[in-house]
Amino acid sequence: MFKTILTTLILIVITCSSISAADTDVFISGGKEKVSRIRIDRVEYISLSQLVEILGGRLDWAVVGHKVSYLTSNNRFEFLIDAPYFTLNDSIYNMTFPAQYFEGDLYIYPETFFPFLDRVLAQKITYSSSQKSIRIDSEYFNVSDLTISAKANGLLMEIFLTGELAYEIFITEGNWINVSIRDGKINSSKILSRRDSRYMYRLKTHQADGSGQISMRMKRPVQNWHHKLALDPPRIQISIADSEFSIDSAESSLVIGPDDKIDVIVIDAGHGGRDYGAIGHAGTREKDVVLSIAKELAKLIRKDKQFKVIMTRDRDKTVTLEQRAEIANGAAADLFISIHANSSVKKRVRGWNVFFLAEAKNDSARAVEQLENSAFLKEGREGAAEADEDYFEDPILGILNDMLMTEFQAESHDFALMCDREMRRHLDIPARGVDQAGFYVLNKVFTPSVLVESGFISNKIEEKLLKNRKYQKKVAEAIYKAIKRFRAKYESR
């Protein structure tokens, strides 16, 4: 209905313009995609509608004022059709040429809009007008990561580089450590995900022409410290001598996380046994349909013989939160994928979601968080009662949870975007996109991880689909293609 109205309203503009269409190559994660490009009166535009399917997020269309919004996890762009101005969050900008509507898609002028899009993406986006191509990659960044580790007599912070870069460090009031790196291009999304609340209040990055800066506000005074440029791999090392930074030896000796080779995939079929999960109108149980999807995914992985696959359950049995985490961590998993089916009191709500672990930003994500955590919450309370202690007030657990929420957040977000991209291609039901929430099952696993809500079991249409083997295979195929894309991007580093 909306597109019919909109087409009618701008018909005169389109018919009075000379329009030609072609494709633009999009290079991303070792692969190549295509989005549409049109030329209107010698000005070339790119389909933002199609690019969003690759980048993730969603477009919202509104009839009043012909307004279109592009929503990412933390930012909001708003465009008016046939207007050269757009808003990014609360600020107004000019992209020279107006946003266009053509054959159901939103088109924008890339040369002036992409620099603004680049500000909010976790990856670098560049447009070549001469080659008619778009490149989206993380390899652009030469300041790639940050680690913080407690030592016997202090704290060691390391800023990883792709090569030797000149830098300077200065301490400012408020216990801020500021590292300015000449010609540094900072992977802000990944570095900001490394904030460790045990040692710092805040972590900030700033990108300028010719330099990048990382600033850390520490919880304790920074007095006896030194720095050096280490090699193999290149990194800036900052050592702070302060015995108060030391932590329990058992915690500091813990070795966690994936290795350099992406080859161990853990599939977690949600719920199971006495935990039925959500139940549909026709009596379909979440635990059953997600196990079927998990088995289809495992079958695909094993058939291809490129990965080792481990399932937290391969039959209808109860698996505790601790057991799921032990399976994943014990296998040194490189990816952890928890498969679920969503539910809502609003029976018309439809669609699939992909979540990564971070603080929930909206009511919808909080609702899913509460739904999926409810069984584990009950499990934890029962365990606490048996042990005569409050499981959820353990301070060490709180520290570990906070550490895990940020440790692999950038990679998890990236994998969630890859899943989102493939599911948009394979599934016909509505896309609810990538979101974030604090799931207990992800918060225990020391590796990049996502939680996939494969549809709403509370919706009659999607309940039938979730029981359908063909649909289950489509979900599995989409996830598997995202796994292969993730490996192509991260294993080569």
Name the helix (H) or strand (E) containing 188. helix 188-192
**In the predicted model, what is the mean pLDDT of residues 75-83?**
90
pLDDT band with cut points at 50, 70 and 90 for residue 162 = confident
More confident residue, 425 or 254: 425
Kindly tell me if the per-residue pLDDT of 63 is higher than 70. no
Q: What is the pLDDT of residue 36?
A: 92
Give how far the C-alpha of residue 448 lies from the chain's centroid of Cα atoms, to the nearest Å.
Answer: 10
Query: Of the candidates 90, 64, 65, 66, which has an alpha carbon nearest to the alpha carbon of residue 77?
Result: 90
Q: What is the pLDDT of residue 41?
A: 84
Give the integer Cα–Cα distance in Å for 11 and 176: 57
Give the integer Cα–Cα distance in Å for 231 and 161: 9
**In the predicted model, what is the mean pLDDT of residues 135-140?**
72
Q: What is the pLDDT of residue 99?
A: 93
**In the predicted model, what is the mean pLDDT of residues 196-220?**
88
Kindly tell me if the per-residue pLDDT of 484 is higher than 80. yes
- DSSP, collapsed to helix, strand or coil, labels residue 307 as coil
Q: Are the C-beta atoms of residues 117 and 162 closer than 8 Å to each other?
A: no
Full set of structural domains in the chain with CATH:
2-137 (3.30.457.10), 143-252 (2.60.40.3500), 264-490 (3.40.630.40)
pLDDT band with cut points at 50, 70 and 90 for residue 358 = low
Mean pLDDT is lowest, of 17-26, 112-121, 201-210, 224-233, for: 17-26
Please state, rounded to an integer, the average pLDDT across all residues of the chain: 81
Question: In terms of residues, how long is the chain?
Answer: 493
Q: Which two tokens stand for residue 21?
A: 């269409």
Give the integer Cα–Cα distance in Å for 121 and 112: 16
Q: What is the pLDDT of residue 65?
A: 54
Q: Which two tokens stand for residue 71?
A: 């929503």
Q: What is the pLDDT of residue 400?
A: 45
Kindly tell me if the per-residue pLDDT of 250 is higher than 70. no
pTM for the model: 0.55
Kindly tell me if the per-residue pLDDT of 489 is higher than 60. yes
- DSSP, collapsed to helix, strand or coil, labels residue 131 as coil
Kindly tell me if the per-residue pLDDT of 133 is higher than 50. yes
